[in-house]
Amino acid sequence: MQVFYERDADNSLIRARKVAVIGYGAQGHAHALNLRDSGVDVVVALHKSARRMADAERDGFAPIAVAEAAASCDVLVMCAPDEVMPDLYAAEIAPHLRAGQTLMFVHGFAYHFGFIKPPADVNVVMVAPKGPGKALREAFTRGGGLPAIVAIAHDTGGGEALAYSYGAAIGCGRAGMIASSFKIETEGDLYCEQVVLCGGLTHLIRTAWEVQIEAGTPPELAYFDCLHEVKLLSDLIHERGIAGMHLAISNTAEYGEYVTGPRIIDAHVKDAMRAALADVQSGKFAQQWMAEHRAGGPNLANMREAAAQHPIETAGRTVRAMLAK
């Protein structure tokens, strides 16, 4: 694994370019603010009806149209949502691209799965921080940073060096910039979101909570057991690794992990994980998600509402209110 740091990057490269951050959501706001604080000439580009317009203005930016940014800026940072990006690119970016510009992706979805196909005379690179925008900004303001995956899909000259210069400017050079590929970043990100970070974890929590409720545990106490303490254990794992976490829990808890964990995460679950990874790698999930978006997101809306109405949310509100007093 090749890892590069601030000392390996030429900070003057990104400071010599005019940079447009397209989008001001989870990632966009952090990239724009970090770039500005690093002395980069940065503008925010938004559609005139964008929900984040007021946020960008509150933070001291004067957003410009995406088409204007594409025509006037040297580096276009693609921070719009995955599902929105292809149409935005086709309508407002592609017609204005010129030779030597750089398309800077912060996640590989739209490019890797072929929803965006840039011309051969522009750089196509990616700097993908390993964490949400809020964490990227908070780490930067503390003097730290998040690791990032850096990938170079097409370099017309100087694109790779510019990517590392950009990564250093948003603070990722403080933690490590890992040379990789669009394929590795995109497929790994989607897979882990689905089977661990979002899909796997939330369904495990809800199901365990439901079983406890069925057995007669009060909802709020089951919430403490199945959800509230997740952060405490995940913090230990984050700081020490799984083996280090074992040193901080009771022998009873550790023994229970070894004898019961394999009963829950068994061979059938591993096969399901392999199937999920196959759907990601084949592009099946990407096509499914884009079709859902084009249809107006009816299934997403229904599933989001069902999740919000799950009774664990009522228990959670009670617990959080208690802890806030």
**Catalytic site residues?**
107
* 28 vs 79: CA distance, rounded Å: 5
Query: What is the rounded (10 degree) CA torsion for 262, 268, 274, 277?
Result: -90
Q: Which of 117, 72, 129, 63 is nearest to 98 (CA)?
A: 72
Q: Which residues contact 258 (CB under 8 A, 6 or more apart)?
A: none
Distance of CA 44 to the CA centre of its chain: 19
For residue 269, report the phi and psi dihedrals to the nearest 5 degrees.
-65, -40
| Residue recorded with tokens 């497929």 | 187
For residue 178, report the phi and psi dihedrals to the nearest 5 degrees.
-95, 120
Inter-residue contact 144 to 57 (CB < 8 Å): no
* 186 vs 148: CA distance, rounded Å: 13
Distance of CA 275 to the CA centre of its chain: 22
